[in-house]
Structure 1
């Protein structure tokens, strides 16, 4: 299958995540067992599913005037990083109609495990079950040195979910990084790669140059 992939382009790669700055995630982590129980009982192990409440919020609480939109957007910023200048507030009702879209509680827990362990590894079931599944008390790490396809890493200093330290750690391990690019905007955050007003100029032009290059290993980017 790897022969079918010419290049991988990563926006804010969530591999090593132990330097997360988001106060929301750092607050949730210590209470995860209680949150997981609630998610299991009331949401069938689906974490942050799209719901009638969110659709109501998008229509009536976040789309009446600019002040309401800014208040609702601040909840997103509290997770991903604050970049009010680049955010298009007219998109907020559309965003809230689709995001969050739900995830399994196991996926959410696996993410939180990464913030605590500082490792990119398989799901940690606990010592006893790990021994049964992995034949080891600790889950095994994914061997990133085996990834030989060309890879481009895009990151931003205003991202509260993916820290620059963690991205550079990933860069040092991957054997075939053809481009590592810091978006030249200090407040550029985790979701700006998709929603920001100037994403075409700040990010997508460089992406297209990478895609159109005949040989990604010899590309020159300025």
Structure 2
């Protein structure tokens, strides 16, 4: 398995996600209280507004890339072409269930890669334990290659190091040499054919 910027631990994420993680119990309680089930769904007003703004030829890049994209993923404008970014507005930011978002926040808050926490009473029914169990990383038996970026605000080097220590079958750990490489440069970066693809092709050839 080749993992690009894997997220299993969220103990060292950067601002602003780190603030959300610190307030995970409050945010989850609030979401449950108001019945929030979806975030940025395609038909929501906020998603439509973001789509219109981010699709603007010049202003959209200035507002959305610098106001949303780079703070979340890491600052690397040289790898994100304005014309390409405009095309991504149809897909980013995309919707998600609140349960998925809340689960990520729980993982960061509890500092453990564990199942979803429903609360002690429901956990007893679901897991036969008041706390959700951690995922058993020893059950991952396939060869794993981890590829990371130094400027990734979500999947930080520190958190990937935690993952490395939990897995017993790491066959490759590659930190992309570009210092500003962020979380989604792996997929959207304009020069990944220089920084990343040679390593990917080597792994695919070696473990095909």
Q: TM class, shorter-chain normalised?
A: 0.7 to 0.9
Structure 2 residue 137 is matched with structure 1 residue 137 = no
Match of 1:125 among 113, 118, 121: 118
- Cα shift at 1:27: 3.4
**Pairs within 5 Å for 1:71-82:** 71-74=63-66, 75-82=68-75
**Number of equivalent positions:** 202
Give the match for residue 26 of structure 1.
18
Answer whether contact 1:18 1:116 (CA < 8 A) is retained.
yes
Normalised to the residue count of structure 2, the TM-score between the two structures is: 0.88
Give the match for residue 42 of structure 2.
50
Answer whether contact 1:46 1:103 (CA < 8 A) is retained.
yes
Per-residue Cα deviation, 1:75-106 (whole angstroms, up to 9, x for no partner)? 11111111112211111222111122211111
**Pairs within 5 Å for 1:1-222:** 8-21=1-14, 23-29=15-21, 30=23, 32=27, 33-35=29-31, 37=33, 40=36, 45-51=37-43, 54-55=47-48, 57-59=50-52, 62-65=55-58, 67-74=59-66, 75-213=68-206, 215=207
Q: Mind listing any 5+ residue stretches in structure 1 that lack a counterpart?
A: 1-7, 217-222
| Partner-residue secondary structure (3-state), 1:85 | helix
Cα separation, 2, equivalents of 1:58 and 1:93: 9
Q: Mind listing any 5+ residue stretches in structure 2 that lack a counterpart?
A: none
Q: RMSD over aligned Cα, in angstroms?
A: 2.0
Answer whether contact 1:54 1:97 (CA < 8 A) is retained.
no
- Cα shift at 1:26: 2.8
| Partner-residue secondary structure (3-state), 1:178 | strand
